Amino acid sequence: MNYKVKVTIDGRGYTLSTENNDGYIETVAEYVDSQISQIEAALHTSAVDSATMAAMNIADSYFHEREATQNIQRQLKEALDERAKLNREISDLKMEIFRLSQKK
């Protein structure tokens, strides 16, 4: 189901079509608006320049988070691989114990 959501970013109104609920989109729009406003206030830049710098900041954050997520995924895979290795060792040791107990 598509929702139509009206948001305001940098004083301009936009109607967005989304599959997400309107609260989510409003939160995203507020975040983008705040990023642009902070840059405009700090640097006194034009709307286009502020939006471009905000987009760069948001993209930078995204790439850092993506890299962190990839590192966590890699660590998880390594931990799962180690767990599988240890499970094989446990199984081998159980077989060895069983074999030795049968020799008695």
Task: Mark the ranges of the chain whose per-residue pLDDT is less than 70.
Answer: 104
pLDDT score at 2: 84
pLDDT digits (tens, 9 = 90+) for 67-76: 999 999 999 9
Report the b/e string of 8-29 with b at 16+ CB within 10 A: ebbeeeeebeeeeeeeebbebb
Contact predicate 15/25, CB 8 Å? no
Residues 6+ apart with CB under 8 A from 49: 43
Amino acid at 82: E
Total domains present in the chain: 1
Domain of residue 41 covers 3-103
Whether the model clears a pTM of 0.85, i.e. scores above it, the answer is no
Cα–Cα distance measured from residue 90 to residue 39, given in angstroms and rounded to the nearest whole number: 58
- What are the beta bridge partners of residue 17? 4
pLDDT score at 22: 72
